[in-house]
Amino acid sequence: MAERLNTILRHIGTSSQQLIESSPASYAAPYEYTVDETSRGKLTDEQRKIYEENGFLVIKNLVPKSEIAKYRNRFEQICRGEVKVPGITIMRDVAIAKSEFVKDQKAITKIQTWHTDEVLWQFCCYPAVVDYVECFLGPNVLAMHTMLINKPPDPGQLSSRHPMHQDLYYFPFRPVNRIVCAWTAMEKINRDNGCLVVLPGSHKGELLQHDYPNWEGGVNKMYHGVRDFDPDHPRVHLEMDEGDTVFFHPILIHGSGANRTKGFRKAISCHYSTGDCEFVDLKGTVQEKIEDEVLDIASNKSGIPKDQIKYEDIWKFRSRIVKGTASF
């Protein structure tokens, strides 16, 4: 299912408010991006139409503040070194010298692969979240990629931005339409502190070429961005309150702006896949570049020769069953 694709994303004229709160004027079934059985009883017809047409759906107040507080406390414990999580990836900003938690260390801007930590893992399994995830995937649910994003205050070089990208670029598993991200705001998130920016309807396009953007302030490791997309495509800035959760498709083009405040901006997310997923060969596709980069990093960290590491196995290590069964 290799993909070497070029596309022109279609234009849509729907307003930002309509995209979040209303259904499109019309939608012809059958649905493609949500499962049948009336979306497993959770999504309304209006919500299904919004996701089908736009590739994202915001659910207000989905995760309570008590849960958010647990995740925040655990993140702080990890940052201070009080808790060690096997296999975790800790990322630091290229331009931020001041940390929230550890004096004289560069700021931790993201932790990934924390699915082995039983406190943070509770987010992936939180019933209100999983109920919606099943509407996109069906009853077999795998957590494939876990992140807690700690966007730092920008030092003036705009290095805190995240370029516009498609998450599928990183993933060697399919089917595409049975992958979804749940992204939850851990505090009020707006344009000042770098909210998500999405291109509604871009999930109906195809996987595009990605590269590191040529930014004067530098680019953080693995922050690849879409090389070419329609600059006139409508954009929506997703301003969210604590506990609000957005579900979005892996081909949806999205990114985030710079954090122009003095504080760090936090969000927690999990990418889920159907347990019936299969892995595909990325050789000769637009994803070969990122596969090669990840394998280089894995080899350097482990000391294992690069040709003895499979990209597929890295993602299997990152996965954990949330509900039902898995095909591997």
Identify the pLDDT of residue 14. 35
Give 19 or 82, the one with higher predicted confidence: 82
Identify the pLDDT of residue 222. 73
Q: How far, CA to CA in Å, does 152 sit from each of 100, 159, 258?
A: 9, 9, 9
For 134-163, the pLDDT digits (tens) are 999 999 999 999 999 999 888 777 777 889
Q: Is the dihedral of CA 294, 300, 301, 302 positive or negative?
A: positive
For 90-145, the pLDDT digits (tens) are 988 656 656 677 665 568 889 999 999 999 999 999 999 999 999 999 999 999 99
Identify the pLDDT of residue 220. 66
**Residues 51-77, mean pLDDT to the nearest whole number:** 97
Identify the pLDDT of residue 21. 39
**Residues 303-307, mean pLDDT to the nearest whole number:** 95
Q: Domain 41-323 is in which class?
A: mainly beta
**How far apart, in whole angstroms, are the C-alpha atoms of residue 293 and residue 12?**
35
- From 150, 167, 156, select the one nearest 218 (Cα to Cα): 156
| Diameter over CA atoms, the chain | 57
